[in-house]
Structure 1
């Protein structure tokens, strides 16, 4: 028995209803980027008004950025 296009679409939506939409994924990534920017400002002393150089950026913050961006690209 062949399924109609409408039935295929209904079944697909039912199977994938718990997955975040593209807009939700973008919102989650933007929130994570804001958190990481705050960590970066703290790590570099930008919140205290001190001068900072790119060399003072904490490597763990950079790694976190790369992981966050990597997750967004892989899907």
Structure 2
């Protein structure tokens, strides 16, 4: 018979697509996404804390009742 090695078309196309720069099966992406998400959350928390400290340093709205003062 033939001595040629038969390559499955789907596997060949898959390899070509990955070589062309298709980025569907990257590894290690989840860790970076989780780290970025945690960094964003930490930054939001730090902003809230800084805003509260600034309000406290400014007097925190002396003369205004607590229920009228914004929480964040």
Greater RCO structure (CA 8 Å; 6+ sep) = 1
- Rg comparison, structure with higher value: 2
Structure 1 length as normaliser, TM-score? Answer: 0.44
Which structure shows the higher helix fraction? 1
